[in-house]
A and B are shown apart, each in its own frame.
Chain A
Amino acid sequence: MTKRIYILFISLLFTQVVFGQFIGKDAVSKALFYLQKNELDSSKKYIDEADLDQELITLPKTWYYKSLIYKDLYKLNEKDNKNSPLRLTAVESLKKLTEIDTTKEFIESAQKMMTYLASTFYNDAARSLNPQAYKNAEEYYAKYRELILLSNTGTDLLQQDIKFKLALASMLNQDLEKQAKKDSTKIEEVKGVYKMVLSLDTNNGSANYNIGIIYYNEAVDLINNMDYDMDLEKLNEMQDVCINLFLQSLPYMLKSYDLKYNEEATIKGLENIYHGLNDTEKEEFFKNLEPKN
């Protein structure tokens, strides 16, 4: 009997040690307790409970710990998952925190988290720059932007935006060049991305040069694919289309020339465009600028 009483006493004492400290504590405190013990799953369970508490959801600490817990869980379990729900929840929590943390109590730590999560989105954007996943790359890059600006609204992302758009256009363009029969929708898409770069930086040499080439190559492809049998009326119509494409190519290549971008190829390009335009005088002018071997 004495033995039984002793066992019961020990059990009660243990329960008190483990759970006693939770008496009167809120879900965020419980989540923090497990977070400190690095028991992230338990920590998540309590921080999710906090979502249901009308008082807790108004407190910055709730959203700070929620973002921290979800960020750590993402790092642990879903780092290779580009569509990680854990990461998205961390981001949403950080956004909520930014909205309500008027005293900036958690700002420093939150900014570090934002920078970290932003870098993971940036990496995923870079890894998704391929013909199959580039739409996702744009979404990841948009998340990267959003987080960087959330962390510091004054950040100048212009050069980063240009770099990303150029990389995207370049990847799409390389893919387009591999296709024997070019899809006109794809051509327009590539041009559109390069034009976006030019809307950010009109003096971007690469964008000017590449748009020039795309227009030029469109004309060359049309001529290349002409059948010798094509009747003369149709040939005249095709000439109109091709001349229009050469003329559209011209201002971009001239800009590339002014910018001294990729000079040798730009000069060759202008020589070819003027050849297509049957402008012998200007063709000769650029031919004479070509480096003599």
Chain B
Amino acid sequence: MKKLVSIVLCLFILNSGFKLGNTIDTNAKIKAVFIYNFTKYIEWPQSYKEGEFTIGIIGETSLYSELIKMTETKKVANQTLEVKKFETPSAVTKCHILYVCKDKSSDINDIIKKLKNNSTLLVTEDNGLMEKGSGINFIIKDNRQKFELNKGNVEKYKLKVSSNLEALAFTVK
């Protein structure tokens, strides 16, 4: 009998599972919350306040699927959200926010040329891109995601930056 019970006990000793595989990329979710907040602190010109609010992504990132998920429940003012993925700088079309993945950082100059005459918030995630024209750049500080803000670069695209966003940025240039 005791042997049988020992087996019962052994059956109970199971290991728990990790959640990443079947749920979310934690970092992508945090970035998505940041990006949605940027829409509250940046003002686009009148002509951009109609139609869909477009977030473009260039490069490979799990942020894409996270943003798609966000479009199911969120709007920017009255504008419905849409997410577009671009393979190359030349494929980029009009969007309110363009997120440049790290693997596409070297294309920044071509991307900036493509965005000329648009009102696009350029968001990046690599060192040194603020100096090359990025408006907001994600950085890691003490294991946490933070962002740098280059107000001048943002305003070049006829966007207005709320002072509250400046207060929340890790650095402002």
Contacts and interface: CB of A to CB of B under 8 A. Distances in A.
Contacts of A272: 18, 20
A246 B143 CA distance: 10
The winner among B5, B26, B36, B168 for most chain A CB atoms within 10 A is B26
Given A126-B5, A126-B8, A268 B34 contact: no
17 contacts: A122-B5, A123-B5, A126-B5, A126-B8, A126-B9, A171-B12, A177-B17, A217-B16, A217-B18, A227-B33, A230-B37, A243-B142, A243-B143, A265-B17, A268-B18, A276-B27, A278-B27
B20 A214 contact: no
Given A170-B12, A228-B73, 8 more contacts: A129-B9, A173-B16, A174-B14, A223-B29, A224-B29, A232-B168, A247-B143, A278-B140
A210 B33 contact: no
Nearest to B25: A275
B108 interface: no
Nearest to A219: B26
Contacts of A170: 12-15
B34 A224 contact: no
Contacts of B46: none
Interface string B1-41: 11001101110111111111001111101101110110000
Contact of A119 (B1, B12, B16, B18): B1
B144 to A, nearest CB: 5
Nearest to B9: A167
Contact of A220 (B19, B74, B143): B19
Contacts of B8: 126-127, 129
B152 to A, nearest CB: 21
Interface stretch (A59-67, A106-114, A234-242): A234-242
Interface in A129-166: 129, 163-164, 166
A209 B36 CA distance: 36
B33 A235 contact: yes
Which bracket fits the contact residues of B?
Answer: 35 or more
A233 interface: yes
A236 B18 contact: no
Contacts of B25: 275
Interface of A: 119, 122-123, 126-127, 129, 163-164, 166-168, 170-171, 173-174, 177, 206, 209-210, 213-214, 216-217, 219-221, 223-224, 226-233, 235-236, 239-240, 242-243, 246-247, 262, 265, 268-269, 272, 275-279
Nearest to B164: A232
A278 B142 CA distance: 9
B145 interface: yes
Contacts of B23: 220, 224
Contacts of B33: 226-228, 230, 235
Contacts of A262: 15
A275 B27 contact: yes
Given A129-B9, A276-B27, A269 B18 contact: yes
B42 interface: no
Nearest to B14: A170
Given A224-B23, A272-B20, A229 B36 contact: yes
A247 B144 CA distance: 12
B143 A213 contact: no
Contact of A236 (B74, B140, B144): B144
B70 interface: yes
Contacts of B2: 119, 122-123
Choose among A170, A206, A230, A233 the residue with the greatest number of B CB atoms under 10 Å from its CB. Answer: A170
Nearest to B70: A228
Nearest to B37: A232
A16 to B, nearest CB: 47
Nearest to A231: B37
A215 to B, nearest CB: 11
A168 B9 CA distance: 9
B21 to A, nearest CB: 8
Contacts of B74: 228-229
Contacts of B26: 219-220, 223, 242, 275-276
